[in-house]
Chains A and B, each alone.
Chain A
Amino acid sequence: MESFSLILAIVVVTALVFDFTNGFHDTANAMATTISTGALKPKVAVAMSAVLNLVGAFLSVEVANTISKGLVDETGIRPEVIFAALVGAILWNLLTWLVGLPSSSSHALMGGLIGATIASAGFGAVHGDVLVTKVLIPAVVAPLVAGLAAMLATRLTYTLGKKADGKASEKGYRAGQIASAGLVSLAHGTNDAQKTMGIITLALVAGGTIAPDSDPPTWVILSAGVAIALGTYLGGWRIIRTMGKGLTDLQPQQGFAAQTSAATVILASSHLGFSLSTTHSVSGSVMGAGLGRKGGVVRWSTATRMFVAWGLTLPAAAMVGAIAEYVTGFGAWGTALVAVFLVASSAAIWKLSRREVVDHTNVNETGEPAGVVTTAMAAVTPPPTGAVAEEFAATVPAPATEPATSPATTV
Chain B
Amino acid sequence: MKIDWAALGSVFGVSLVVTVALVGLFTLGITGLSRHERATAQGGSAALAVTAAYACFAACAAAVAYGIYLIVA
Question: A residues near B, CB below 8 A?
Answer: 56, 59-60, 128-129, 132-133, 137, 141, 145-146, 148-150, 152-154, 156-157, 160-161, 163-169, 172-173, 176, 179, 183, 186-187, 190, 256-257, 260-261, 263-265, 267-274, 276
| A129 near B4: Cβ-Cβ < 8 Å | no
Instruction: State which size class the interface on B falls in.
Output: 35 or more
Q: CB-nearest residue of chain A relative to B61?
A: A179
Interface of A is mostly: helix
User: Which of A137, A150, A172, A272 contacts B14 (CB under 8 A)?
Assistant: A272
**Complex interface residues of chain B between 1 and 55 (CB less than 8 A to chain A):** 1-4, 7-8, 10-12, 14-16, 18-20, 22-24, 26-31, 33-38
| B7 near A272: Cβ-Cβ < 8 Å | yes
| B19 near A150: Cβ-Cβ < 8 Å | yes
Question: B residues near A, CB below 8 A?
Answer: 1-4, 7-8, 10-12, 14-16, 18-20, 22-24, 26-31, 33-38, 60, 64, 67-68, 70-72
| B33 near A274: Cβ-Cβ < 8 Å | no
| A164 near B71: Cβ-Cβ < 8 Å | no
User: Which of A153, A173, A271 contacts B70 (CB under 8 A)?
Assistant: A271
Interface of B is mostly: helix
Give 28 A-B contacts (CB < 8 Å), ordered by A residue. A59-B71, A141-B8, A141-B12, A145-B16, A152-B16, A152-B19, A156-B24, A156-B27, A160-B31, A163-B35, A168-B34, A169-B30, A169-B33, A172-B26, A172-B29, A172-B33, A183-B67, A190-B72, A260-B26, A261-B23, A264-B14, A264-B18, A265-B11, A265-B15, A268-B11, A269-B11, A272-B10, A274-B11
| Given contacts A156-B24, A186-B71, A267-B67, A165 and B19 within 8 Å (CB-CB) | no
Q: CB-nearest residue of chain A relative to B10?
A: A272
User: Which of A153, A183, A270 contacts B64 (CB under 8 A)?
Assistant: A183
| B1 near A133: Cβ-Cβ < 8 Å | yes
Q: CB-nearest residue of chain B relative to A274?
A: B7
Shortest distance from the beta carbon of B20 to any chain A beta carbon, whole Å? 5
Chain B residues within 8 Å of A146, by CB: 15
| Given contacts A153-B20, A169-B30, A267-B70, A133 and B2 within 8 Å (CB-CB) | yes
A265 CA to B7 CA, complexed, in Å = 13
Shortest distance from the beta carbon of B48 to any chain A beta carbon, whole Å? 15
